[in-house]
């Protein structure tokens, strides 16, 4: 099951809503749930409140509601399947089914406390795959997030940018100092992430064991389009992620090929404490291909980037020059 965060046409920026996949359309889950309550339950007076309790304004808050919200989701989708499309309305007749183009999709996770990408610095990347020590990572600021369709804006300060396709492991349950064998209990789902890097800046910063400007500029993190909720671990471990530039495949991996396992990553980073909506992204550049790690894909102004996975969806972007840039 995939869930999306978005805005309907006339809503203000803070009026974000959660949508589900429904027969190639998007369904407003909060209102659909309220509609279901009104038709089939006694608690119709509380229909709107319960709808927005289970399907609140953010996906992080939905994940926080835990297993009950998952059951509510399954129920509302089952209800929708058994209802004729014409009758699919909110309690007072509100529209709940939308064409994808009618919804302005947003990065599904808006302001996580921990939005980390797991990776070696350029300094530590060598010809041979390094022996795993600890899964180090870097932080992508939420203010850099965009989602599918948004332009990737070439940063004025760089001459060399590239893209690394990542699978972001989305935390669904709070915890701290989690043992590796318990790690998967804390996974709520996955989403796609494209990590855009200003490479020469990153190399320069990496020499001082930092990275900031090279990884954090407007549109340097693409996230989405949906959070695919976790059903089983194996399912997620075998999920193939592809990155193509101008239609030619440049990266391809599953998280089984990563130098570090999800168990190791969660055990390590949960030392700081993790919360629903936090994520840890594993990139192709940490995945083995033969005896090497894969390399990020160089970009040009005008490049079309596609990052996709059959069960999550696809992120599509065009690289554009910054306004006023001298290139």
Partner 1 sequence: MKLVTFTHQDKERIGAVDNDGRIIDMIRAYGLYLHDVEKKPGGEKLALALLGRDMCDFLRRGDESLDAARKTLDWARTKAAQGDRRLLVDPETVRLKAPVPRPGALISAGKNFSDHVAEMSSRKGPSFPVAFLKLPGTVIGPEDDIPYPPEVKNLDYEVELAVVIGKACVDVTQEESLDYVAGYSAFNDISARDVIRGENKTGIHLMGKSFPGFAPMGPYLVTADEVPDPQNLKLRLSVNGETRQDSNLSYMIFKIRDMIAYWSQMGLNAGDVLTTGTPRGVAAGRKPDQAPWWIKPGDVVEAEVEAIGCLRNRIVPER
Out of 42, 84, 208, 326, which residue is the one contacting partner 1 (CB under 8 A)?
208
Close Cβ partners of 184 (under 8 Å, ≥ 6 residues apart): 230, 233, 262, 263
Tokens of 12: 């203000």
Cα distances (angstroms) measured from residue 170 to each of 35, 112, 230, 262, 305: 29, 10, 9, 11, 23
Q: Between 27 and 152, whose beta carbon lies closer to partner 1?
A: 152
Tokens of 164: 């690394």
Smallest gap from residue 138 Cβ to partner 1 (A): 6
Cβ-contact 1, 20 below 8 angstroms = yes
Q: Identify the H or E element spanning 232.
A: none
Note the Cα 251 to chain centre separation in Å: 18
> Among 32-40, 202-210, 249-257, 306-314, which window interacts with partner 1 (CB under 8 A)?
202-210
Smallest gap from residue 132 Cβ to partner 1 (A): 9
> Among 4-12, 32-40, 159-167, 203-211, which window interacts with partner 1 (CB under 8 A)?
203-211
Residue 205 within binding range of partner 1, rule CB under 8 A = yes
> Among 15-23, 98-106, 207-215, 301-309, which window interacts with partner 1 (CB under 8 A)?
207-215
Smallest gap from residue 275 Cβ to partner 1 (A): 9
Scan residues 49-108 and list those touching partner 1 (CB under 8 A): none
Tokens of 304: 């079309």
Out of 113, 231, 238, 246, which residue is the one contacting partner 1 (CB under 8 A)?
113
> Among 45-53, 70-78, 211-219, 311-319, which window interacts with partner 1 (CB under 8 A)?
211-219
Smallest gap from residue 169 Cβ to partner 1 (A): 17
Site string for partner 1, 268-287 (x = CB under 8 A): -x-xxx--------------
**Nearest partner of 311 among 21, 70, 65, judged by Cα:** 21
| Spatial distance between the Cα atoms of 245 and 307, rounded to a whole number of angstroms | 9
Note the Cα 109 to chain centre separation in Å: 7
Cα distances (angstroms) measured from residue 7 to each of 11, 222, 292: 6, 18, 42
> Among 75-83, 119-127, 248-256, 299-307, which window interacts with partner 1 (CB under 8 A)?
119-127
Cβ-contact 249, 259 below 8 angstroms = no
Count CA atoms closer than 13 A to 317's CA, side-chain side.
Answer: 34
| Spatial distance between the Cα atoms of 267 and 142, rounded to a whole number of angstroms | 23
Out of 19, 36, 48, 116, which residue is the one contacting partner 1 (CB under 8 A)?
116
Smallest gap from residue 13 Cβ to partner 1 (A): 13
Cβ-contact 283, 138 below 8 angstroms = no
> Among 79-87, 182-190, 216-224, 305-313, which window interacts with partner 1 (CB under 8 A)?
216-224
Helices (H), 196-288: 199-206, 233-237, 262-269
| Spatial distance between the Cα atoms of 14 and 146, rounded to a whole number of angstroms | 16
Smallest gap from residue 224 Cβ to partner 1 (A): 21
Site string for partner 1, 124-163 (x = CB under 8 A): x-----x--xx-xxxx-x-x-----------xxx------
Q: Which residues bind partner 1 (CB under 8 A)?
A: 113-114, 116, 119-121, 124, 130, 133-134, 136-139, 141, 143, 155-157, 204-206, 208-213, 216-218, 269, 271-273
């Amino acid at each position: 099951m995939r869930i999306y965060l978005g805005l309907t046409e006339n809503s203000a920026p803070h009026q974000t809503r959660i949508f589900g996949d429904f027969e190639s359309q998007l369904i407003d889950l909060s209102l659909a749930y309220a509609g279901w309550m009104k038709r089939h339950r006694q608690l119709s007076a509380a229909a709107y409140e319960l709808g927005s309790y289970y399907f609140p304004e953010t996906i992080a808050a939905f994940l926080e509601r835990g297993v009950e919200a998952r059951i509510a989701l399954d129920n509302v989708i089952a209800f929708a399947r058994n209802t004729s499309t014409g009758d699919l309305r909110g309690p007072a007749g509100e529209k709940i089914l939308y064409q994808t183009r009618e919804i302005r999709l947003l990065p599904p996770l808006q302001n996580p406390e921990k939005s980390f990408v797991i990776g070696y610095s350029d300094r530590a990347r060598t010809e041979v795959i390094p022996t795993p020590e600890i899964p180090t990572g870097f932080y992508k600021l939420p203010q850099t997030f965009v989602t599918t369709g948004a332009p990737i804006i070439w940063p004025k300060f760089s001459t060399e940018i590239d893209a690394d396709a990542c699978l972001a492991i989305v935390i669904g349950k709070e915890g701290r100092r989690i043992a590796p064998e318990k790690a998967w209990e804390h996974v709520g789902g996955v989403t796609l992430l494209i990590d855009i890097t200003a490479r020469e800046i990153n190399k320069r910063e990496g020499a001082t064991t930092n990275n900031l400007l090279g990884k954090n500029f407007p549109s340097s993190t693409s996230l989405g389009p949906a959070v695919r909720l976790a059903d089983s671990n194996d399912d997620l471990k075998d999920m193939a992620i592809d990155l193509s530039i101008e239609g030619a495949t440049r990266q391809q991996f599953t998280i089984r090929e990563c130098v570090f396992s999800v168990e190791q990553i969660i055990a390590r980073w949960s030392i700081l404490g993790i919360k629903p909506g936090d994520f840890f992204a594993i990139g192709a550049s940490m995945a083995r291909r033969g005896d090497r790690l894969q390399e990020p894909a160089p970009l040009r102004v005008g490049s079309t980037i596609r990052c996709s996975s059959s069960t999550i969806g696809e992120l599509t972007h065009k690289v554009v020059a910054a306004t006023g840039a001298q290139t």
